[in-house]
Amino acid sequence: MSKFLKLTASVILFGAIATTGANAQDADAGKKVFRKCAACHAVGKGAKNKVGPELNELIGRVAGSLEDYKYSKAMTAVGEEGLVWNNDTLTEYLTKPRGFIKGTKMAFGGLKKDAEIENVIAYLATYSASAEQAAAEPEEMAEPAETADATSGQAPAGLAADAVIPDHGNYHLGRVALPEEITAWDIDVRPDGAGLPVGKGTVADGGVIYDESCAVCHGVFGEGEGRWPVLSGGFDTLTADRPEKTIGSYWPFASTIFDYVNRAMPFGNARSLSADETYAVTAYLLYLNDIVTDESFELSNETFSDIKLPNEENFYPDDRLEEPNFAKGTEPCMQNCGDRPAEIVMRARVLDVTPDNDEEGGAGGID
Protein backbone atom coordinates (compact mmCIF):
# COMPACT_ATOMS: atom_id res chain seq x y z
CA MET A 1 0.00 0.00 0.00
CA SER A 2 1.44 3.40 -0.96
CA LYS A 3 1.93 6.05 1.68
CA PHE A 4 -0.95 7.97 0.14
CA LEU A 5 -3.37 5.09 0.46
CA LYS A 6 -2.41 4.62 4.08
CA LEU A 7 -3.13 8.23 4.85
CA THR A 8 -6.42 8.03 3.04
CA ALA A 9 -7.43 4.95 4.99
CA SER A 10 -6.54 6.43 8.34
CA VAL A 11 -8.83 9.35 7.80
CA ILE A 12 -11.83 7.11 7.34
CA LEU A 13 -11.33 6.18 10.98
CA PHE A 14 -10.15 9.42 12.53
CA GLY A 15 -10.48 12.12 9.97
CA ALA A 16 -14.09 12.99 10.59
CA ILE A 17 -13.58 13.49 14.29
CA ALA A 18 -10.48 15.57 13.81
CA THR A 19 -12.21 17.72 11.22
CA THR A 20 -15.15 18.34 13.49
CA GLY A 21 -13.00 19.63 16.29
CA ALA A 22 -10.93 21.87 14.10
CA ASN A 23 -13.94 23.16 12.24
CA ALA A 24 -15.57 24.45 15.36
CA GLN A 25 -12.49 26.14 16.77
CA ASP A 26 -10.20 27.58 14.23
CA ALA A 27 -11.81 28.44 10.92
CA ASP A 28 -11.63 32.12 11.74
CA ALA A 29 -7.91 32.04 12.39
CA GLY A 30 -7.57 29.92 9.26
CA LYS A 31 -9.13 32.64 7.19
CA LYS A 32 -6.14 34.81 8.04
CA VAL A 33 -3.68 32.06 7.25
CA PHE A 34 -5.39 31.61 3.89
CA ARG A 35 -4.03 34.99 2.84
CA LYS A 36 -0.76 33.17 2.27
CA CYS A 37 -2.56 31.05 -0.29
CA ALA A 38 -4.86 33.66 -1.78
CA ALA A 39 -2.39 34.93 -4.37
CA CYS A 40 -2.76 31.55 -6.06
CA HIS A 41 -6.00 30.00 -4.77
CA ALA A 42 -9.61 31.10 -4.45
CA VAL A 43 -12.25 29.51 -2.26
CA GLY A 44 -15.89 30.34 -1.60
CA LYS A 45 -18.81 31.26 -3.79
CA GLY A 46 -17.85 31.67 -7.43
CA ALA A 47 -14.20 30.76 -6.79
CA LYS A 48 -12.27 30.22 -10.01
CA ASN A 49 -8.94 28.60 -10.74
CA LYS A 50 -6.04 31.03 -10.48
CA VAL A 51 -2.38 30.07 -10.48
CA GLY A 52 -3.56 27.10 -8.43
CA PRO A 53 -6.89 25.23 -8.52
CA GLU A 54 -9.94 26.58 -6.68
CA LEU A 55 -10.34 24.91 -3.31
CA ASN A 56 -14.11 24.48 -2.86
CA GLU A 57 -15.12 20.92 -1.87
CA LEU A 58 -11.48 20.18 -1.17
CA ILE A 59 -12.01 17.76 1.69
CA GLY A 60 -12.68 14.41 0.04
CA ARG A 61 -11.38 15.60 -3.35
CA VAL A 62 -9.06 13.23 -5.18
CA ALA A 63 -5.77 15.11 -5.61
CA GLY A 64 -5.32 16.63 -9.04
CA SER A 65 -8.88 15.88 -10.10
CA LEU A 66 -10.41 19.20 -11.19
CA GLU A 67 -11.17 18.87 -14.87
CA ASP A 68 -10.73 22.51 -15.79
CA TYR A 69 -7.34 22.94 -14.13
CA LYS A 70 -4.00 21.88 -15.59
CA TYR A 71 -2.05 20.11 -12.84
CA SER A 72 1.53 18.98 -12.87
CA LYS A 73 2.15 15.39 -13.92
CA ALA A 74 3.17 14.69 -10.34
CA MET A 75 -0.14 15.86 -8.89
CA THR A 76 -2.20 13.93 -11.42
CA ALA A 77 -0.14 10.83 -10.70
CA VAL A 78 -0.63 10.86 -6.92
CA GLY A 79 -4.35 11.35 -7.48
CA GLU A 80 -4.43 8.30 -9.71
CA GLU A 81 -2.57 6.44 -7.02
CA GLY A 82 -5.45 7.23 -4.70
CA LEU A 83 -4.44 10.35 -2.77
CA VAL A 84 -7.51 12.06 -1.35
CA TRP A 85 -7.38 15.44 0.43
CA ASN A 86 -8.24 15.21 4.11
CA ASN A 87 -6.86 16.43 7.39
CA ASP A 88 -3.82 14.18 7.33
CA THR A 89 -2.88 14.43 3.68
CA LEU A 90 -3.33 18.19 3.68
CA THR A 91 -1.20 18.49 6.81
CA GLU A 92 1.60 16.62 5.08
CA TYR A 93 1.27 18.60 1.85
CA LEU A 94 1.08 22.01 3.46
CA THR A 95 4.04 21.31 5.75
CA LYS A 96 6.33 20.65 2.83
CA PRO A 97 4.60 20.64 -0.55
CA ARG A 98 7.58 19.43 -2.52
CA GLY A 99 8.66 16.98 0.14
CA PHE A 100 5.27 15.28 0.08
CA ILE A 101 4.64 15.43 -3.66
CA LYS A 102 7.89 15.57 -5.53
CA GLY A 103 7.39 17.59 -8.69
CA THR A 104 4.27 19.50 -7.66
CA LYS A 105 4.24 22.86 -9.34
CA MET A 106 2.89 24.62 -6.26
CA ALA A 107 5.63 27.20 -5.66
CA PHE A 108 5.07 27.51 -1.96
CA GLY A 109 7.56 26.72 0.75
CA GLY A 110 5.04 25.35 3.23
CA LEU A 111 3.49 26.54 6.47
CA LYS A 112 5.82 26.57 9.44
CA LYS A 113 3.46 26.34 12.40
CA ASP A 114 1.22 23.38 13.17
CA ALA A 115 -1.52 25.70 14.36
CA GLU A 116 -1.50 27.54 11.04
CA ILE A 117 -1.95 24.28 9.18
CA GLU A 118 -4.78 23.09 11.43
CA ASN A 119 -6.52 26.41 11.13
CA VAL A 120 -6.25 26.75 7.39
CA ILE A 121 -7.61 23.24 6.95
CA ALA A 122 -10.48 24.07 9.30
CA TYR A 123 -11.15 27.15 7.20
CA LEU A 124 -11.10 25.23 3.92
CA ALA A 125 -13.37 22.59 5.49
CA THR A 126 -16.09 25.22 5.89
CA TYR A 127 -16.25 25.27 2.08
CA SER A 128 -16.49 21.48 1.81
CA ALA A 129 -19.93 19.91 2.15
CA SER A 130 -18.48 16.50 3.04
CA ALA A 131 -16.62 17.95 5.99
CA GLU A 132 -19.66 19.83 7.18
CA GLN A 133 -21.82 16.76 7.11
CA ALA A 134 -19.18 14.93 9.11
CA ALA A 135 -19.30 17.61 11.74
CA ALA A 136 -21.89 16.51 14.24
CA GLU A 137 -23.28 19.94 14.87
CA PRO A 138 -21.66 22.62 12.83
CA GLU A 139 -21.32 25.62 15.09
CA GLU A 140 -21.90 29.06 13.77
CA MET A 141 -18.86 31.05 12.85
CA ALA A 142 -17.86 33.27 15.70
CA GLU A 143 -19.21 36.77 15.29
CA PRO A 144 -16.23 39.06 14.69
CA ALA A 145 -17.20 41.68 17.22
CA GLU A 146 -19.13 40.19 20.10
CA THR A 147 -20.53 43.05 22.06
CA ALA A 148 -18.13 45.79 21.22
CA ASP A 149 -16.76 47.66 24.17
CA ALA A 150 -18.30 51.09 24.20
CA THR A 151 -14.95 52.73 24.91
CA SER A 152 -12.02 52.41 22.58
CA GLY A 153 -9.17 53.90 24.62
CA GLN A 154 -6.64 51.87 26.53
CA ALA A 155 -6.86 51.93 30.27
CA PRO A 156 -4.75 54.70 31.78
CA ALA A 157 -1.22 53.42 32.38
CA GLY A 158 -0.82 55.02 35.77
CA LEU A 159 -0.65 58.48 37.23
CA ALA A 160 -0.52 61.08 34.47
CA ALA A 161 2.08 63.01 36.41
CA ASP A 162 4.46 60.04 36.23
CA ALA A 163 4.65 60.04 32.41
CA VAL A 164 8.21 60.51 31.14
CA ILE A 165 8.53 63.41 28.66
CA PRO A 166 11.35 62.97 26.12
CA ASP A 167 13.43 66.06 25.35
CA HIS A 168 13.41 65.97 21.51
CA GLY A 169 11.36 68.06 19.12
CA ASN A 170 8.69 70.67 19.64
CA TYR A 171 6.00 68.49 21.17
CA HIS A 172 8.22 65.87 22.82
CA LEU A 173 6.21 63.05 21.28
CA GLY A 174 7.34 59.64 20.10
CA ARG A 175 10.61 58.04 21.08
CA VAL A 176 14.03 57.62 19.56
CA ALA A 177 14.22 54.70 17.08
CA LEU A 178 16.74 52.02 18.03
CA PRO A 179 19.45 51.06 15.49
CA GLU A 180 18.08 47.48 15.31
CA GLU A 181 14.64 48.86 14.52
CA ILE A 182 15.95 51.05 11.73
CA THR A 183 17.90 48.11 10.29
CA ALA A 184 14.77 45.96 10.38
CA TRP A 185 12.73 48.41 8.32
CA ASP A 186 15.21 50.42 6.28
CA ILE A 187 15.55 48.05 3.33
CA ASP A 188 15.43 50.51 0.44
CA VAL A 189 18.18 50.50 -2.17
CA ARG A 190 19.17 53.46 -4.35
CA PRO A 191 20.76 53.49 -7.83
CA ASP A 192 24.09 54.54 -6.27
CA GLY A 193 24.06 51.33 -4.24
CA ALA A 194 23.16 53.01 -0.94
CA GLY A 195 21.20 50.53 1.13
CA LEU A 196 22.51 47.32 -0.47
CA PRO A 197 23.07 44.59 2.11
CA VAL A 198 26.24 42.52 2.12
CA GLY A 199 25.68 39.40 0.04
CA LYS A 200 26.16 37.66 -3.29
CA GLY A 201 24.59 35.22 -5.70
CA THR A 202 25.26 33.87 -9.19
CA VAL A 203 23.07 33.70 -12.26
CA ALA A 204 23.02 29.91 -11.94
CA ASP A 205 21.86 30.04 -8.29
CA GLY A 206 19.25 32.57 -9.27
CA GLY A 207 17.91 30.32 -12.02
CA VAL A 208 17.11 27.62 -9.48
CA ILE A 209 15.28 30.07 -7.22
CA TYR A 210 13.49 31.66 -10.14
CA ASP A 211 12.19 28.34 -11.51
CA GLU A 212 11.04 27.38 -8.04
CA SER A 213 9.44 30.63 -6.85
CA CYS A 214 8.84 32.97 -9.75
CA ALA A 215 8.27 31.07 -12.99
CA VAL A 216 4.69 29.98 -12.12
CA CYS A 217 3.62 33.57 -12.62
CA HIS A 218 6.34 35.24 -14.64
CA GLY A 219 7.06 32.35 -17.02
CA VAL A 220 10.24 30.29 -17.40
CA PHE A 221 11.87 32.95 -19.59
CA GLY A 222 10.25 35.94 -17.91
CA GLU A 223 7.65 36.04 -20.68
CA GLY A 224 4.76 36.15 -18.17
CA GLU A 225 2.10 33.45 -17.73
CA GLY A 226 -1.36 34.67 -18.69
CA ARG A 227 -1.70 38.24 -17.53
CA TRP A 228 1.06 38.15 -14.90
CA PRO A 229 3.79 40.70 -15.57
CA VAL A 230 6.37 40.12 -18.30
CA LEU A 231 9.90 40.54 -16.94
CA SER A 232 12.09 40.23 -20.02
CA GLY A 233 12.36 41.06 -23.70
CA GLY A 234 10.61 43.90 -25.49
CA PHE A 235 13.87 45.37 -26.77
CA ASP A 236 13.44 48.16 -29.32
CA THR A 237 9.68 48.30 -28.82
CA LEU A 238 9.45 51.62 -26.99
CA THR A 239 8.54 53.52 -30.14
CA ALA A 240 6.34 50.71 -31.46
CA ASP A 241 2.58 50.77 -31.56
CA ARG A 242 2.45 48.37 -28.59
CA PRO A 243 5.56 48.95 -26.50
CA GLU A 244 6.66 46.23 -24.11
CA LYS A 245 8.20 47.79 -21.05
CA THR A 246 10.42 45.30 -19.22
CA ILE A 247 13.50 45.34 -17.03
CA GLY A 248 15.68 45.05 -20.12
CA SER A 249 13.77 47.33 -22.46
CA TYR A 250 12.61 50.07 -20.11
CA TRP A 251 13.82 50.11 -16.50
CA PRO A 252 16.52 52.72 -15.84
CA PHE A 253 18.26 51.16 -12.82
CA ALA A 254 19.23 47.67 -11.68
CA SER A 255 18.85 48.74 -8.05
CA THR A 256 15.10 48.79 -8.59
CA ILE A 257 15.10 45.05 -9.33
CA PHE A 258 16.88 44.23 -6.11
CA ASP A 259 14.79 46.64 -4.07
CA TYR A 260 11.47 45.50 -5.49
CA VAL A 261 12.08 41.76 -5.38
CA ASN A 262 13.38 42.16 -1.84
CA ARG A 263 10.34 44.10 -0.64
CA ALA A 264 7.48 42.61 -2.65
CA MET A 265 8.28 39.25 -4.30
CA PRO A 266 7.40 36.45 -4.56
CA PHE A 267 3.90 37.87 -4.71
CA GLY A 268 1.90 36.67 -1.71
CA ASN A 269 5.05 35.65 0.19
CA ALA A 270 7.11 38.83 0.30
CA ARG A 271 10.26 39.20 2.41
CA SER A 272 10.91 35.46 2.26
CA LEU A 273 14.16 35.56 0.26
CA SER A 274 17.55 36.04 1.95
CA ALA A 275 19.96 38.73 0.76
CA ASP A 276 22.02 36.13 -1.12
CA GLU A 277 18.92 34.72 -2.78
CA THR A 278 17.82 38.20 -3.79
CA TYR A 279 21.24 38.91 -5.35
CA ALA A 280 21.04 35.59 -7.18
CA VAL A 281 17.54 36.09 -8.54
CA THR A 282 18.39 39.70 -9.52
CA ALA A 283 21.41 38.35 -11.38
CA TYR A 284 19.16 35.85 -13.10
CA LEU A 285 16.69 38.57 -14.17
CA LEU A 286 19.64 40.51 -15.63
CA TYR A 287 20.63 37.34 -17.47
CA LEU A 288 17.09 36.78 -18.81
CA ASN A 289 17.37 40.32 -20.18
CA ASP A 290 20.82 39.85 -21.76
CA ILE A 291 22.32 42.47 -19.45
CA VAL A 292 24.76 39.84 -18.23
CA THR A 293 25.48 36.84 -20.41
CA ASP A 294 27.68 34.60 -18.30
CA GLU A 295 25.92 32.03 -16.09
CA SER A 296 28.77 32.14 -13.63
CA PHE A 297 28.41 35.91 -13.16
CA GLU A 298 28.14 36.72 -9.48
CA LEU A 299 26.19 39.77 -8.37
CA SER A 300 27.15 41.20 -4.99
CA ASN A 301 27.15 44.47 -3.11
CA GLU A 302 30.61 44.95 -4.63
CA THR A 303 29.87 44.15 -8.29
CA PHE A 304 26.51 45.92 -8.26
CA SER A 305 27.78 49.31 -9.43
CA ASP A 306 29.14 47.69 -12.64
CA ILE A 307 25.62 47.05 -13.85
CA LYS A 308 24.05 49.67 -16.09
CA LEU A 309 20.69 49.22 -17.78
CA PRO A 310 20.52 50.28 -21.45
CA ASN A 311 17.52 52.61 -21.09
CA GLU A 312 18.87 54.74 -18.23
CA GLU A 313 19.57 57.79 -20.41
CA ASN A 314 16.06 57.94 -21.81
CA PHE A 315 14.28 59.30 -18.76
CA TYR A 316 13.91 63.03 -18.21
CA PRO A 317 12.06 65.26 -15.74
CA ASP A 318 8.40 66.19 -16.19
CA ASP A 319 8.11 68.91 -18.85
CA ARG A 320 4.36 68.84 -19.36
CA LEU A 321 4.12 72.56 -18.71
CA GLU A 322 5.93 73.20 -21.99
CA GLU A 323 3.16 71.55 -24.02
CA PRO A 324 0.94 73.98 -25.96
CA ASN A 325 -2.13 72.81 -24.02
CA PHE A 326 -0.63 74.25 -20.83
CA ALA A 327 -0.49 77.79 -22.17
CA LYS A 328 -1.92 79.72 -19.25
CA GLY A 329 -4.77 82.14 -19.36
CA THR A 330 -5.73 81.60 -22.99
CA GLU A 331 -9.46 82.24 -23.17
CA PRO A 332 -10.95 79.17 -24.88
CA CYS A 333 -13.40 79.51 -27.77
CA MET A 334 -17.03 79.81 -26.61
CA GLN A 335 -19.11 80.24 -29.77
CA ASN A 336 -19.07 78.72 -33.25
CA CYS A 337 -15.83 76.85 -32.65
CA GLY A 338 -14.58 74.54 -35.38
CA ASP A 339 -15.62 74.93 -38.99
CA ARG A 340 -18.05 72.01 -39.26
CA PRO A 341 -20.58 70.45 -36.88
CA ALA A 342 -19.16 67.70 -34.66
CA GLU A 343 -19.32 64.13 -35.95
CA ILE A 344 -18.63 60.85 -34.22
CA VAL A 345 -15.21 59.52 -35.16
CA MET A 346 -14.87 56.74 -32.56
CA ARG A 347 -17.24 54.74 -30.36
CA ALA A 348 -16.68 52.78 -27.18
CA ARG A 349 -15.27 49.43 -28.17
CA VAL A 350 -16.18 47.69 -24.98
CA LEU A 351 -19.92 47.86 -24.90
CA ASP A 352 -20.35 45.50 -21.99
CA VAL A 353 -18.13 46.92 -19.33
CA THR A 354 -18.23 43.95 -17.03
CA PRO A 355 -17.00 41.21 -19.33
CA ASP A 356 -16.82 37.83 -17.67
CA ASN A 357 -14.83 36.21 -20.43
CA ASP A 358 -11.09 35.95 -20.17
CA GLU A 359 -10.36 37.85 -23.31
CA GLU A 360 -7.53 40.28 -23.31
CA GLY A 361 -9.47 43.51 -23.60
CA GLY A 362 -8.66 47.14 -23.87
CA ALA A 363 -5.96 49.06 -25.57
CA GLY A 364 -4.24 50.72 -22.66
CA GLY A 365 -3.76 48.86 -19.42
CA ILE A 366 -3.60 50.37 -16.01
CA ASP A 367 -0.49 49.86 -13.97
Using the rule CB under 8 A, which residue among 80, 192, 290, 294 binds other proteins?
A: 192
Q: State whether residue 80 is helix, strand or coil.
A: helix
- Which residues does residue 231 pair with via DSSP β-bridges, in sequence order? none
Using the rule CB under 8 A, which residue among 150, 161, 164, 334 binds other proteins?
A: 334
Residue 106 binds which entry of other proteins, ligand HEC, none, CB below 5-8 Å type-dependent: ligand HEC
| Binding residues for other proteins restricted to 244-283, rule: CB under 8 A | 245, 247, 250-253, 255-256, 259-260, 263-264, 267-268, 270-271
The full DSSP string for 1-57 is: --HHHHHHHHIIIIIHHHHHHHHHHHHHHHHHHGGGTTTT---STT----SS---TT
| Binding residues for ligand HEC restricted to 78-107, rule: CB under 6 A | 85, 90, 94, 104-107
Using the rule CB under 8 A, which residue among 170, 180, 293, 296 binds other proteins?
A: 170
Choose the binding region for other proteins from 63-71, 83-91, 131-139, 325-333 (rule: CB under 8 A). Answer: 325-333
Residue 214 binds which entry of ligand HEC, other proteins, none, CB below 5-8 Å type-dependent: ligand HEC
Choose the binding region for ligand HEC from 9-17, 162-170, 211-219, 232-240 (rule: CB under 6 A). Answer: 211-219
Using the rule CB under 6 A, which residue among 16, 84, 196, 216 binds ligand HEC?
A: 216
Residue 58 binds which entry of other proteins, ligand HEC, none, CB below 5-8 Å type-dependent: ligand HEC
Using the rule CB under 6 A, which residue among 218, 219, 288, 292 binds ligand HEC?
A: 218
Those residues with Cβ within 8 angstroms of residue 313's Cβ, 6 or more apart along the chain or in another chain: none
217 belongs to the binding site for ligand HEC (CB under 6 A): yes
Residue 140 binds which entry of ligand HEC, other proteins, none, CB below 5-8 Å type-dependent: none
The full DSSP string for 240-287 is: SSS----TTTT-S-THHHHHHHHHH-STTSTT-S-HHHHHHHHHHHHH
286 belongs to the binding site for ligand HEC (CB under 6 A): no
For the chain, the C-alpha Rg in angstroms (whole number) is 27
Residue 361 binds which entry of other proteins, ligand HEC, none, CB below 5-8 Å type-dependent: other proteins
The closest alpha carbon to 258, from 275, 246, 270, 245, belongs to: 275
- Cβ of 135: how many Cβ atoms within 10 Å? 18
What are the Cα distances from residue 201, in Å, to 251, 293, 318, 327? 21, 15, 36, 52
CA–CA gap between residue 119 and residue 114 (Å, rounded): 9
User: What DSSP state is assigned to residue 349?
Assistant: S
User: What is the phi/psi pair of residue 167, to 5°?
Assistant: -100, 0
Return residues touching ligand HEC (CB under 6 A).
36-37, 39-41, 51-53, 55, 58, 61, 63-64, 66, 71-72, 74-75, 85, 90, 94, 104-108, 111, 120, 213-214, 216-218, 228-229, 231, 257, 260-261, 265-268, 281
